Structures are given as C-alpha cells and as structure tokens.
Structure 1
Amino acid sequence: MLEKFKIHIAQNFPSLKNGKLFLAVSGGLDSMVLLHLFRQLQYDIAVLHCNFQLRGIESFQDQIFVQEYSIKNSIPFFYTQFDTENFAKDYKLSIQVAARELRYSWFYEQLEEQNYDFILTAHHADDNLETFLINLSRATGLDGLIGIPEQNDTIIRPLLVFNRLDIENYANENQIKWREDSSNASDKYVRNKIRHQLVPILKEIHPNFLASFQKTQQYLQQANEMVDDAASILFSQVVEEKGDAFYFNVKKLSKLPNYKSYLYHWLKDFGFSAWEDIYNLVDGQSGKQVFSNEFRLLKDRKYLILSSLIQEDAIDEYFIEKNQSEVKIPLKLAICKVSDISLASNTIIFVDEDLLVFPLVLRKWKTGDFFQPFGMNGKEKKISKLFKDEKLSLLDKENTWLLCSNNQIVWVTGIRQDERYRIEKTTTNILKIQLII
C-alpha cells in the first residue's frame, strides 16, 4: 500500500511535496494510517485534532492518545475542544452536521493562522460508498451521487482510492495502534446502519461491488462534467447579468428541452428548496417570488430575476449638506455648480440651487409619494404610477432612491427630475447633479 500511495500522491497531488500539510487525526484507524503513510514519505506535516466532547472520557482519551503520538514523533500538534451538543441545539442542527461545521471552520482558521497550505483527511472508498447511499436516499440529484471529491480547494482526501480492508491490512502489517470509537458500533446513526447492515449485503451479492462502484462514480463524474459544460454554454445565451442581479429570459428559457433541469443546475447553489414553485414561475404572473434564506427569484414580465435579499438599511435616510461635492453611499453622486446647462439625461439633472433647502435627503420611495414630472406643466404624478409606466421590476423599485428637499421630491434618481426645481431664465445659481453608474 505504501508504494501505491507514494505513486498516487506523486501523480495526483505533486504540490504536496513542497507544501506544509495539516493532517486531520481523530486517533481512529483511518487517520492513524494516513499519519503513518505521510511520516514514511517524510513530508512536512502537523496534526489537527478536534475533541467534540460527545463520548465523555473517551473523547479526552482520544485527544491524549493523538497528542502523545505527535510528541513522541516530533510532529507539531494542534487541538481544540467543542461543546458540540449545545452548538447543535443553539443552531438547530443534527450532531453530525454541527460537528462537521465546527471541524471545518476550525480547520480553515488554523490553515490561515499557522500559514499551512493544505488540510488532509482520511476519507476512503468505503466512506465514499456510504455517502453515495445516503445521498441516494435523500434525492440529492447528480451532485450527491458523484461522491466525495478528492480535492476541495485546500482540503485533500488522498485515501479515497483505498478501501477499508486495504487500510486495516496496512495497519496490522505495520503494527499501527489506533483508538476505537465506541459510537461506530451503534446503529443509532444512518451511516452506521448503512455500514453494518446494507453494505455487507451488497458486497455479499457482488464480491467486487466496491470496485464496480468506483468505476460507476467515474462515469457519473464524467457525465456531470458534460452537464456543467452544456449548462455553462446555455447560461450565457439565456441569462444576462445586470448589476448584482441575474435576468433569466423566460422566452429563451422555455424553449430549452427540459428547462427545469437547467434551472435546477443554475440555482441549486443559492439555497432554494421549493423547486416546483420555481418551475411554476416561468408561466406565472409578474410579481410572484420564491425565496431562499439569502436570495430571491422574482417573475417580472419577460424575466426571472435572481438577486440577493435586500437587507433593511440601518440608516434609511442619507443627508447631503450644502457645498458637498460628492456622495458615496447609498449611491454615487457628483455635485457641482455650473455657469450654464448642457443636455440633461436620466443620470444628469440641473436644478436651481436657490430653491433647495439643505440638507437634501436621499431616501427610498414610500406608498403615497408623488412629484411633478419635469415637462408636465405642474401635473402631479404618483411615484408608483411612474414605476408602472417605466415598467420597473420590483427589484428596480426597491433599488430606486429619491432625492428630496424639505420633504419634496427633487429627483427620482436615474429616472425623472421634478418640474418645481427646473432652471429658468432668472436662475443665477445652477447646480449639476450626476448619478455615477
């Protein structure tokens, strides 16, 4: 196994040779074998150990075991202790998910603080099979069936090409000591039920089941790469990025064969779960929305608009003082005095400074807001009607700011100036205000 491992590392992870490596070591069979293998290769390694305090004194005995091994072999040792049960309760997580979040969060912290390059874990082929079967039962889609990746950024799993029997044999041949986790014998957890009850039956039916499974996962990975390529090409044809939002052209989308699959592929990483509601948006009425924790998908006429949820500003009004030349928050404005006017536009207005009452105020629109549109001879118009005439989406409305003077609207920024502040022949102080996009 050592020779096969050496070749595997050289061919697939050559950057490890000159890197500083953290090895995640629990004290169990798999991680102790991983540690032994890298000691034989004489790589620059250190040990990370997490004490989740879930098995009473056993957890602390594991910690002491790994610490003493590291000291004996002159390996740098880093450890932490978690109150996993309370963390799981506070955040309403299962123990397994809580432990995983705590573990990897601490791993990344150590990677940065200690200036190491990679974190190596001891996941192997049997772990991969168990994960596949768990995901299969949860209908996770193709992503859940392609298995545990060998590398995720700085996380590397170099034992995935070996099975549990390979690892056990190597440990026995090299007289490697390890700690048995008593919880692994319990069928309380889904993974253990699969490991103890389902996998042995599969291997009994087909003695080469694990090898066949690994080939199947290679095929699934290749198929997933083809899906990624196709989805990427079509994304550029169907979706337009505007600012911080993505606009999905409904007409082009609906012409795709099985457009639901493409929508799922494009949106799955944004935390959505109500997939039937999302699919129904394509033929739904304008204004309908579907939410995830951080994002929103909005149907607006010809588009589905994906955007992050707008957080309420801690400050809902921003003030502009007299003689202030620029505004940076919540939008960018350039303000200056000029002697004459040039061509105005949606992003540039010219106003009579003597009619303004400072400080000016930038705020979002409210129900009932009205103004006198420039060029309409003093006729009043509700802001909501202006938005409707301009065919603004809900997202555009939420992102529109009003420039106000003494509670009167001077400018619906980027859209229309108010008639009451226009330049006349008698105007002596002209102020130019430009929206910087």
Structure 2
Amino acid sequence: MEKAFKNEIKLQFPYLCNAKLLLAVSGGVDSVVLAHLCKTAKLDFALAHCNFNLRDEESDADEDFVTDLAKKLKVKLFVENFDTEQYAKDNGLSIQMAARDLRYEWFEELRLKHQFDYTLTAHHANDSLETFFINLLRGAGLEGLSGINSDSNKIIRPLLNFSRKEIAAFAEENNISWREDSTNASTKYLRNKIRHELVPILEDLNPQFLETFLKTQSHLKENEELVEDYMSLLYPKIIGKTKYGYSLDINYLKKVPNTSAILYQLLKSFGFTEWNDVYNLMDAQPGKMVFSASHRLIKDREHLLLTEIDRTENKTYKIAKDEDFAMLPMGTFSFSEVKEIKEKTPNCIYVDPQKLDYPLTVRKRQEGDLFYPFGMKGKKKLSDFFKDKKLSLPEKENSWLLCSGDKIVWVINQRADRRFSITSPGQKIIKITFSL
C-alpha cells in the first residue's frame, strides 16, 4: 500500500509534494495510517485532533494517543476541545452534524492562521460507498451519488481509492497501533447500520462489490461532469444578473428539454427543497413566491427572480439636523445649502428646509404609504406609483424612502414629494443628494 499511496500522490495529487499540509487525525486506523503514509512519502505535515468530549475517558485517551503519535512521527500537533452537545443543542443539530461543523470550521481556521496549503482527511472507498447509500435514501441528485470529492475547498482526501480492509491490513502488517471508537460498532447511527448490515449482504452477493461500486461511481462522476458542461452552455442563455439577484427567462426554460431537471441544476445551491412548487412557479400568477432558508424565487411576468431574503425590511435610520453627510447601509446622503435650483437629476432633490421636521428618517415602504408626487396633481398611493412604473417586487422592496415625520419627502432616486418643494423666490434651498 505504501507504494500505491506514493503513486496516488504522484499521479493524482502532485501538488502535495511541495505543500504545507494539515492532517486531521482522530486516532482511528484510517487517519493513523494516513499519517504514517505521509511520513514515509516525506510530505510536510502537522496533525490536528478534535476532542468532542462525547465518550468521557475514551475521548481523553484518544487525545493522549494522538499526542504520542505526533511525538513518534516528530510532527507538530494542534488539539481543540469542543462542547459538542451544547453546540448541537444551541444550533438545532444532530451530534454527528454538530461534530462535522465544528471540526471543519476549526480545520479551516488552523489552515488560514498557520498558512497550511491544504487539509488532509482519511476518507476512503468504504466511506464513499456508505455516503452513496445515505444520499440515495435521502433522494439526492446526481451530485449526491457520484461520491465524495477527492479535492474540494482546500480539503484533500488521498485515500479514496483504498478500502477499509487494505488500510487495516497495512496497519497490522506494519505493527501500527490505533484507537477503536466504541460507537463504530453500534447500529444506532444510519452510517453504521449501512456498514454493518447492508454492505455485508451486498458483498455476499458479489465479493467484488466495492470494486464494482467504484467503477459505477466513476461513471456517475463522468455523467455529473457532462451535466456541468451542458449547464455551462445553457446558463448564459437562461440567467441574467440583476441589481438584486438573478433573473431566469421562463420562455427559454420552457423551450429546453427536461425543464425541471434544468431548474434543479440552476437552483440547487440556493437551498430550495419544495421542487414541485419551484417548477409550478413558471405558470403561476405574478408575485407568487417560493422560499428557501436564504433565498426566494419570485414569479414576475416573463421571468423568475432569484433574490436573497431581505433582512433589513423593518429597519429605520435617522439623520440629525446638523449632518452634512449621512453614511447609511443603502448609500450616502449629502445636504448642502444652495442659492438656486440648477440641474435636476434622479439622485438629487431641492427642498424647503423650513418644512422639514428632524430627525429625518430613511425606511422601506409600509402598508398604506402615500405621497404627493412632484409634477402630478393630488396624492397617490405608493403601491400604485410602483405599479405604474412596472417595478418588479425586488425593485419595490429595495426602494428607500426619505421621510419627515410621517410624510414622505422623497422616494429616493425616483420622485420627490411636492409638499416640500420651493414655493417662494429668495427663500433658503437645501439640496439633498443620494449616492451609492
């Protein structure tokens, strides 16, 4: 296996030979063998060990073992203790997911702080097999079935072409000791249930099942890459960048084959789960929406608009009387006294300072808002004003209002309210300018 590992590095990961590496070591056979293989391959690495404090003395014994391993290999060791149960409780996660989040966040912190080029983990072929079945049971798409990536986000997994049996055999042949996690024998967890109950049945049906599976997974990976190539051609024809997110052309989507699969590929990274609702949105009434935890998809006439969920909807910002400049999250306001009204542009208005009640406020629209649009007679509901301008929902929601008391002074960069306009010659004039 030592020779095979060196060939794997040479052919698949040649960049590791001159890199500074952080190796995640639990104390189990997989990570301990990887540490020994990296040593014999003369790679430059340090060890990182997470103590999740989930198995009392057993967790501490794992930490002691890894400490001795680092001394034996003469490499630097980083250790971090976590209150995993509390983190899981605070974040509404399972213990397994909490441990996963904690370790990967810490590995990345270490990598950046100590300038490691990559983080190595000891995932192997059986891990990829078990992950396949977990994702299959969850109804995953092609990317969930094509296996664990060997190289992703600075995390390298150089043992993916080796089986658990090969790794254990190498350890025994070379008198390498390791720690056995007692929870690995329990079928309480789905991964262990697959490992101890499902996989043996499949291996009984086909003794070469793991090798066959790896070939199948390789084909799935090739198909995934083919889909990605196809999507890269379709992407610019369907999606356009907008000021507030992305716009998807419904008419073009309906023309291409497998529209639902195309939509899934385009939107899968934005957290949507109700895919039937996403597909049906193309024929829904304008204004209908589908939400994920972080984004929403809006039907807007001939397009689907993808935007992040607005977290500033109810925020109000104040501008004091003596401020010449006010830097706010949406942009900067400047106030200056002028002698006459000169150029008129969308980003500035001229107002009578005597009519302003300070502090001025800047806010988003509210139900029932109305104003007296400059250049028009009477008053108008803000909702009707937006409708007449044919603004999309994101454009409406991202329109800010400059207000004096409960009165709108300016629908910013769109229309001033005539109640604050200059009515007498020679009076004071304040020019208000807004810039992004």
TM-score (structure 1 length as normaliser): 0.92
Residue in structure 2 matched with residue 120 of structure 1 by the alignment: 120
Once the two structures are superposed, the pairs formed by residues 248-267 of structure 1 within 5 Å of their partners are 248-267=248-267
1:273 touches 1:292 (CA, 8 Å); kept in 2? yes
Shift of residue 141, structure 1, vs aligned partner:
0.7
1:322 touches 1:358 (CA, 8 Å); kept in 2? no
Looking at structure 1, the residues matched to 15 and 216 of structure 2 have their Cα atoms a distance apart, in angstroms, of 28
Residue in structure 1 matched with residue 27 of structure 2 by the alignment: 27
Q: Is 2:260 the partner of 1:271?
A: no
Residue in structure 2 matched with residue 421 of structure 1 by the alignment: 420
C-alpha deviations, 1:174-233, integer Å up to 9, x for none?
111112222222222211121122222222322332222222222211211221222233
Shift of residue 56, structure 1, vs aligned partner:
2.8
Q: Is 2:223 the partner of 1:223?
A: yes
* DSSP-derived class of the 1:299 partner: strand
Shift of residue 117, structure 1, vs aligned partner:
2.0
C-alpha deviations, 1:339-369, integer Å up to 9, x for none?
5545534334334455444443322222222
Looking at structure 1, the residues matched to 160 and 172 of structure 2 have their Cα atoms a distance apart, in angstroms, of 19
1:336 touches 1:433 (CA, 8 Å); kept in 2? yes
Residue in structure 1 matched with residue 196 of structure 2 by the alignment: 196
2:334 touches 2:432 (CA, 8 Å); kept in 1? yes
* DSSP-derived class of the 2:175 partner: coil
TM-score (structure 2 length as normaliser): 0.92
C-alpha deviations, 1:236-283, integer Å up to 9, x for none?
222221223112222222222222212211211111111111112111
Shift of residue 407, structure 1, vs aligned partner:
3.5
* DSSP-derived class of the 1:409 partner: strand
* DSSP-derived class of the 2:284 partner: coil
* One-letter code aligned to 1:260: S
* One-letter code aligned to 2:418: E
Looking at structure 2, the residues matched to 51 and 225 of structure 1 have their Cα atoms a distance apart, in angstroms, of 37
Looking at structure 2, the residues matched to 178 and 243 of structure 1 have their Cα atoms a distance apart, in angstroms, of 55
* DSSP-derived class of the 2:100 partner: helix
Residue in structure 2 matched with residue 330 of structure 1 by the alignment: 330
Residue in structure 2 matched with residue 374 of structure 1 by the alignment: 374
Once the two structures are superposed, the pairs formed by residues 93-132 of structure 1 within 5 Å of their partners are 93-132=93-132
* One-letter code aligned to 2:30: D
Looking at structure 1, the residues matched to 278 and 320 of structure 2 have their Cα atoms a distance apart, in angstroms, of 42
Looking at structure 1, the residues matched to 91 and 135 of structure 2 have their Cα atoms a distance apart, in angstroms, of 23
Looking at structure 2, the residues matched to 211 and 52 of structure 1 have their Cα atoms a distance apart, in angstroms, of 34
Shift of residue 330, structure 1, vs aligned partner:
2.9
Once the two structures are superposed, the pairs formed by residues 149-164 of structure 1 within 5 Å of their partners are 149-164=149-164
1:318 touches 1:330 (CA, 8 Å); kept in 2? no
**68-77 vs 342-351, which deviates more?**
342-351
Shift of residue 325, structure 1, vs aligned partner:
4.4
Cα distance change, pair 320–305 in 1 and its aligned pair in 2 (3 A): farther
Residue in structure 1 matched with residue 300 of structure 2 by the alignment: 300
Residue in structure 2 matched with residue 86 of structure 1 by the alignment: 86
* DSSP-derived class of the 1:332 partner: strand
Residue in structure 2 matched with residue 408 of structure 1 by the alignment: 407
Unaligned runs of 5+ in 1: none
Shift of residue 305, structure 1, vs aligned partner:
1.5
Once the two structures are superposed, the pairs formed by residues 167-178 of structure 1 within 5 Å of their partners are 167-178=167-178
* One-letter code aligned to 1:392: L
1:350 touches 1:432 (CA, 8 Å); kept in 2? yes
Unaligned runs of 5+ in 2: none
Looking at structure 2, the residues matched to 432 and 79 of structure 1 have their Cα atoms a distance apart, in angstroms, of 60
Cα distance change, pair 323–168 in 1 and its aligned pair in 2 (3 A): closer
Looking at structure 2, the residues matched to 353 and 55 of structure 1 have their Cα atoms a distance apart, in angstroms, of 70
Looking at structure 1, the residues matched to 363 and 95 of structure 2 have their Cα atoms a distance apart, in angstroms, of 45
* DSSP-derived class of the 1:111 partner: helix
1:338 touches 1:432 (CA, 8 Å); kept in 2? yes
1:361 touches 1:405 (CA, 8 Å); kept in 2? yes
**26-35 vs 338-347, which deviates more?**
338-347
* One-letter code aligned to 1:395: P
Shift of residue 59, structure 1, vs aligned partner:
1.9
Cα distance change, pair 415–162 in 1 and its aligned pair in 2 (3 A): same
* DSSP-derived class of the 1:293 partner: coil
1:290 touches 1:296 (CA, 8 Å); kept in 2? yes
Shift of residue 327, structure 1, vs aligned partner:
4.1
